[in-house]
Amino acid sequence: MPFNIIIVGAGLIGPRHAQTVQANPSTHLLALIDPSPSAAQTAATLQTLYFPSLDALLASPSIPRPDAAIVCTPNHTHIPLATTLLSNNIHVLLEKPISDDPSTARALLSTLTPTSPKLLIGHHRRFNPYITATKQLLTTNALGPIIALNGLWTLYKPDTYFAPPGDWRRSTETGGGVLAINLIHDIDLLHYLFGPITRVFAEQTAPTRPSPPHAAEEGAAITLRFASGVVGTFLVCDATPSPWSFEAGTGENPLIPQVQGEGAEGFYRIFGQRGSLSVPDMRRWSYEGRAERSWSEELVVERREVDRTSPTPFALQLAHFVEVIQGKVEPVCTGEEALRALLVVEAIGRALRTGQVVDVEG
Ligand SMILES: NC(=O)c1ccc[n+]([C@@H]2O[C@H](COP(=O)([O-])OP(=O)(O)OC[C@H]3O[C@@H](n4cnc5c(N)ncnc54)[C@H](O)[C@@H]3O)[C@@H](O)[C@H]2O)c1
Ligand SMILES: *C1O[C@H](CO)[C@@H](O)[C@H](O)[C@H]1NC(C)=O
């Protein structure tokens, strides 16, 4: 029997999750939940049941019990909704960020036990084929022990992106700013690849947009220290035309054209004792096969193929969620890891404002 899945939140991303559920033979789309007037129509289009609230669904005697929920609502509702679902013994795939406030996330996580229903956080880029290929190279020690990394997330957002209804993006008070909107994805990937970040520093880029109305940071040069001893530098900026970002490099977001060929290399560069790797071109540089490991030798470059025909990261994430529910695997992105990404982004924001080095809270 397929698992009965409900989707909570039918805005931009909810219907995409719904279609993914319908395409997976192990899952059945049971219902869509959203108070907005247009959501009933969305549910009708998807040929699924509609409820205006989670409480209305839970109170309904006539529908089968949901096995799991995918929560894709505004950030401040993530923890209250996940708490209700988990306490009703419903597994949860919760969109990122885990919350808009670390303290509410901590409160929920402290109540979970090994017998609680499962909680997976939707940092779906962990399922991107370029990232899984990178993870596999690191896991098989293809670069030797890792020394350092360098990352870029640089591109140009037009004025229309900040115009109503997107004007919340102009201020950090309303969830705007390139750190909260974009960098959190890279931070989660860096955690996935290199483990927890423990210390950060950041210098802000000079503003290019008029203030007012713009009040959010546009970019920063950041240093990162990882618990493993790995160190990193990261440049983030949403005010420069550039091909170096996860989106332009991987083509994952259909709204941002993929940069192919020349120029696409190196939104991440990873440096190990045996070799270095550039992502997404996946060139690995080493002295393997040369007389010695020495700067006087010619570097050997190999290119690792990435299977771009694999299912979408959303589909892979859902397939993973099914295995988590079945108890076959542990969540690839736990609540603790998602909280960690939020804490690192907050620490970078504090470093920007104070000019101080910031230790990430445990
Ligand atoms: N993984 C990703 O790359 C990615 C991409 C986009 C959005 N997201 C995340 O998904 C979440 C939703 O983003 P979005 O762009 O779809 O937002 P959105 O504003 O387009 O949609 C949110 C929907 O939730 C509904 N809603 C609000 N409160 C609700 C409640 N209590 N119960 C049920 N429905 C409720 C709203 O009516 C709205 O339709 C955000 O947390 C965002 O960070 C993640
Ligand atoms: C929460 O939600 C939006 C997307 O809807 C996201 O871009 C924003 O930066 C978020 N983060 C926080 C911490 O508020």
Residue-wise pLDDT for 12-33, tens only, equals 999 999 999 999 999 999 999 9
CA of 8 to the centre of ligand 1 (A): 8
Which atom number of ligand 2 is nearest to the Cα of residue 75?
Answer: 1
CA of 121 to the centre of ligand 1 (A): 14
In this prediction, residue 309 carries a pLDDT of: 86
Please tell me the number of the ligand nearest to residue 179's CA: 2
Closest CA to 29 of 41, 42, 17, 11: 17
- Asked if pLDDT for residue 161 goes beyond 90, the answer is yes
pLDDT in tens, 247-282: 999 999 999 999 987 778 899 999 999 999 999 999
Closest CA to 195 of 232, 149, 221, 230: 230
In this prediction, residue 328 carries a pLDDT of: 98
Percent of the chain with pLDDT over 70: 100
Which atom number of ligand 2 is nearest to the Cα of residue 12?
Answer: 5
In this prediction, residue 263 carries a pLDDT of: 78
CATH superfamily of the domain spanning 129-309+342-359: Dihydrodipicolinate Reductase; domain 2 (3.30.360.10)
Query: Are 321 and 126 contacting, i.e. CB atoms less than 8 angstroms apart?
Result: no
In this prediction, residue 284 carries a pLDDT of: 98
Q: 308 vs 165, which has greater pLDDT? A: 165
What stretch(es) of the chain map to CATH 3.40.50.720?
3-125+313-333
Which atom number of ligand 2 is nearest to the Cα of residue 177?
Answer: 9
Residues contacting ligand 1 via CB (< 6 Å): 8-14, 33-36, 53-54, 72-75, 77, 81, 95-96, 122, 124
In this prediction, residue 128 carries a pLDDT of: 97
Q: What is the crossing angle of helices 129-139 and 184-194, to 10°?
A: 30
Mean pLDDT over 211-219 rounds to: 97
Residue 307's pLDDT band, with cuts at 50, 70 and 90, is: confident
Which atom number of ligand 2 is nearest to the Cα of residue 342?
Answer: 13
Q: 285 vs 265, which has greater pLDDT? A: 285
- Asked if pLDDT for residue 141 goes beyond 90, the answer is yes
- Asked if pLDDT for residue 362 goes beyond 80, the answer is no
In this prediction, residue 243 carries a pLDDT of: 96
In this prediction, residue 261 carries a pLDDT of: 78
Mean pLDDT over 90-108 rounds to: 97
- Asked if pLDDT for residue 93 goes beyond 90, the answer is yes
Q: Looking at the domain that runs over 3-125+313-333, which CATH code has it been given?
A: 3.40.50.720
CA of 174 to the centre of ligand 1 (A): 14
CA of 175 to the centre of ligand 2 (A): 5
- Asked if pLDDT for residue 334 goes beyond 90, the answer is yes
In this prediction, residue 229 carries a pLDDT of: 98
* Cα gap 346→361, rounded to integer Å: 10
In this prediction, residue 4 carries a pLDDT of: 98
Q: How far is CA 160 from CA 177, 182, 234, in A?
A: 15, 17, 27
Please tell me the number of the ligand nearest to residue 189's CA: 1
Give alpha helix (H) positions in the chain: 14-23, 39-45, 54-59, 78-87, 102-111, 129-139, 159-162, 178, 184-194, 246-250, 313-325, 335-354
Q: How far is CA 72 from CA 56, 63, 99, 148, in A?
A: 18, 22, 12, 35
* Tokens coding 345: 């982004």
CA of 286 to the centre of ligand 2 (A): 40
Q: Quickly tell me which residue has 């699924």 as its tokens.
A: 48
What stretch(es) of the chain map to CATH 3.30.360.10?
129-309+342-359
pLDDT in tens, 184-201: 999 999 999 999 999 999
pLDDT in tens, 57-79: 999 999 999 999 999 999 999 99
In this prediction, residue 53 carries a pLDDT of: 98
